[in-house]
Amino acid sequence: TRSTRPQRLLNAVRKHATRGDPQSVISAIDHFCRHSEWAMNIGDEKGSILDSVVSELNPEKVLELGTYCGYSTVRIARLLPPGARLITLEFNADYAAIARQVIAWAGLEDRVQLVEGASEDWIPRMKEHFGIETFDFVFLDHWKDRYLPDTKLMEDCGLLRKGTVLLADNVICPGVPDYLQYVRNSLSYKSCYFKSHLEYTKAEDGLEKSVFLG
Ligand SMILES: O=C(NC/C=C/[C@H]1O[C@@H](Sc2ccncc2)[C@H](O)[C@@H]1O)c1cc([N+](=O)[O-])cc(O)c1O
Ligand SMILES: [Mg+2]
């Protein structure tokens, strides 16, 4: 049977990246997506914005919604101190299997916990199952119609604290209008837009950074 695009992306990582070198994994995926096959990773341009937000925050507890092949998981985890933890939720078992190998190739498995399942099922279980009190940073990059309900669910489950930062991918393309309207008008958030481009293209896209005010 034909290989899948995530499998071909993993092959490119194994072929061109150095084990234990996260930057080489990032570069191998970006090269594959620019020159071989487009894939829905955040990419290098928006990825640099993600890097600057994470570096400024130095979060201990991170949640990522939507692992896909693990590209942004590697981008975030490579910037975390060894004691920090990144929990990443992925619904699709095939994507999860690829992402585990990408994360391992980067040598970051010690600070990443990939959980298979749906965010709506796992968000309510973060406290009792993972011993998480609150998250310092949340990266949203999963199904676009889940950004808003999952944000409200995180609020209701007490997983956000004063100062928690939410960073949402694709707020222009494909777009998340209901989520944008909410974080930009709610008195519980201070929100700002980082204009950029859709990964590996010239189309406009951007990231929305929203600080929870409690
Ligand atoms: O559709 C997009 N992303 C949806 C991503 C979804 C990812 O999250 C889980 S779903 C899940 C994971 C966890 N919990 C519940 C559901 C899917 O299995 C996939 O791995 C997208 C599309 C474009 N584009 O240009 O079309 C560009 C992008 O940057 C995108 O992120
Ligand atoms: Mg995205």
pLDDT of residue 45: 98
ipTM over 0.95: yes
d(CA 79, CA 40): 21
What's the mean pLDDT in 154-169? 98
Q: Which of 45, 138, 142 to mutate to test the pocket of ligand 1 (most atoms within 8 A of CB)?
A: 142
- pLDDT > 70: percent of the chain: 100
Q: How far apart are the first and last CA of the chain?
A: 51
Q: How confident is the model at residue 82 (pLDDT cuts 50, 70, 90)?
A: confident
Ligand 2 centroid to Cα of residue 170, in Å, is: 5
Average pLDDT, the chain: 97
Q: How confident is the model at residue 1 (pLDDT cuts 50, 70, 90)?
A: confident
Q: What is the pLDDT of residue 28?
A: 98
CA of 202 to the centre of ligand 2 (A): 15
Distances 80 to 60, 121, 131, 192 between C-alpha atoms, Å: 7, 26, 19, 23
Q: What is the pLDDT of residue 113?
A: 98
Positive or negative torsion for Cα 141, 145, 148, 154: negative
Task: Please report the pLDDT score of residue 10 as a whole number.
Answer: 98
Ligand 1 mutation pick, 37, 42, 91, max ligand atoms within 8 A of CB: 91
Residue 65 to residue 90: CA distance in whole angstroms: 7
Reported as a single tens digit per residue, the pLDDT across 37-76 is: 999 999 999 999 999 999 999 999 999 999 999 999 999 9
pLDDT of residue 2: 82
Say whether the peptide bond before residue 124 is cis (omega within 30 degrees of 0).
Answer: no
CB of 99 shorter than 6 A to ligand 1: no
**142 CB within 6 A, ligand 1:** yes
CA 58, distance to chain mean position in Å, is: 15
What mean pLDDT do residues 156-172 have?
A: 98
Closest atom of ligand 1 to 67 CA is 20
23 pLDDT more than 80: yes
Name the region of 181 (left: φ>0; alpha: ψ -120 to 50; beta: rest): alpha
The ligand with the least distance to the CA atom of 143 is: 1
134 vs 86: CA distance, rounded Å: 12
Distances (CA, A) of 77 to 49, 139, 144: 15, 12, 23
Tens-place pLDDT, residues 120-156 = 999 999 999 999 999 999 999 999 999 999 999 999 9
pLDDT digits (tens, 9 = 90+) for 28-39: 999 999 999 999
Q: Which two tokens stand for residue 112?
A: 């990443």
Question: Which residues are known to be catalytic?
Answer: 141, 144, 169-170, 199
pLDDT at 142: 98
Ligand 1 midpoint to CA 111 (Å)? 22
**Burial of 190 (C-beta count, 10 Å sphere; 0-12/13-18/19+):** middle
